[in-house]
């Protein structure tokens, strides 16, 4: 099956099985490499982003454990996803992700590094490092509702899913003497930007962080 055909089928499936709403799609540049940094609560997150109304050239980093599941392996390969070993610093995945951005495409990545249980986990520095290496802007993305999909489907109801896309973030190069502190600061900024677009119940590790209120006040 061709990638375009899979994308069309996923769009149809999401329309039939969910009520999906996208906000802030105008923040995504029409061309050029860009990173979508998103929270990650469910296996539905990747198919949902795959149906984003703009930039059908989107792909994503996917944990390599799904290579052990025939359907998920087929889906990822057909969609052009990038396998990543989250148990180590996966330089091959980093190189392939950099190439996607260099080709002017959109890359989805979960800074948390794994699926959460509904609340944000502490972000990891990989997203920032990739942005600094490629020069690509980072767009924070807040997804809500996907953790309820299985429950709602069992009740024969369509879950309500929301995808909020924030404005682009660009980061200054790291200084040698303050590298670690800057990486932490940049990563926290991405995660607080994501949290600011989500209901408080999702804030998790970042619950109560003052930066979240600042971002929300600026957007009001």
Element (H, E) at 106: strand 106-109
For residue 15, the Cα-to-chain-centroid distance in whole angstroms is: 20
| The architecture CATH gives domain 3-219 | 3-Layer(aba) Sandwich (3.40)
Cα(first)–Cα(last) distance of the chain, in Å? Answer: 45
Side by side, which strands form the sheet with 82-84? 19-23, 160-165, 138-144, 34-38, 106-109, 59-63, 82-84
pLDDT of 219 strictly over 90: no
| pLDDT above 80 for 220 | no
pLDDT of residue 40: 95
Taking CA atoms, 94 is separated from 29, 47, 112, 127, in Å, by 22, 22, 16, 10
| Mean pLDDT along residues 138-167 | 96
What is the pTM (predicted TM-score) of this model?
0.94
The domain limits of the chain are: 3-219
- Average pLDDT (25-40) is 97
pLDDT digits (tens, 9 = 90+) for 89-116: 889 999 999 999 999 999 999 999 888 9
Mean pLDDT, rounded, for 152-168: 97
What is the β-pairing status of strands 19-23 and 82-84?
A: unpaired
Confidence of residue 69 (pLDDT cuts 50, 70, 90): confident
118 CB-contact burial (10 Å; exposed 0-12 / middle 13-18 / buried 19+): middle
Tell me phi and psi for residue 162, to 5 degrees.
-130, 140
Look at residues 74, 37, 33, 82 and name the one whose alpha carbon lies nearest to residue 188.
37
CA torsion, ordered 1, 84, 168, 199, to nearest 10 deg:
90
| Distance between CA atoms of residues 41 and 48, nearest Å | 12
**DSSP codes, 30-98:** SSS-EEEEE---STTHHHHHHT-SS-TT-EEEEEGGGGGSHHHHHHHHHHT-EEE-TTS--HHHHHHHH
Average pLDDT over residues 56-82: 92
Number of residues assigned to the chain? 220
Average pLDDT score over the chain:
94
Residues 187-212, mean pLDDT to the nearest whole number: 97
pLDDT at 142: 97
Res 90: pLDDT: 87
pLDDT band at 194 (very low <50, low <70, confident <90, very high): very high
The mean per-residue pLDDT over the stretch 170-192 comes to 95
Residue 87 banded pLDDT, cuts 50, 70, 90: confident
Q: Is 27's pLDDT higher than 80?
A: yes
């Amino acid at each position: 099956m061709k990638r375009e055909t899979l994308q069309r089928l996923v769009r149809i499936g999401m329309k039939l099985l969910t009520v999906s709403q996208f906000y802030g799609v105008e923040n995504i540049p029409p061309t050029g490499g860009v990173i979508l940094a998103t929270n990650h609560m469910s296996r539905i997150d990747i198919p949902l982003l795959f149906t984003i109304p703009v930039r059908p050239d989107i792909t994503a980093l996917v944990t390599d454990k799904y290579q052990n599941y025939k359907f998920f392996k087929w889906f990822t390969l057909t969609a052009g996803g990038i396998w990543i070993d989250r148990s180590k610093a996966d330089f091959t995945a980093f190189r392939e992700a950099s190439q996607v951005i260099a080709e002017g495409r959109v890359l989805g990545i979960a800074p948390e590094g794994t699926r959460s249980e509904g609340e944000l986990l502490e972000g990891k520095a990989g997203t920032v490092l990739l942005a600094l290496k490629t020069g690509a802007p980072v767009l924070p993305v807040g997804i809500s509702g996907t953790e309820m999909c299985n429950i709602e489907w069992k009740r024969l109801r369509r879950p309500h899913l929301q995808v909020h896309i924030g404005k682009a973030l660009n980061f200054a190069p790291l200084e040698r003497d303050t590298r670690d502190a800057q990486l932490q600061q940049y990563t926290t900024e991405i995660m607080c930007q994501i949290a600011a677009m989500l209901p408080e119940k999702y804030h998790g590790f970042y619950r109560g962080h003052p930066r979240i209120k600042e971002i929300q006040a600026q957007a009001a």
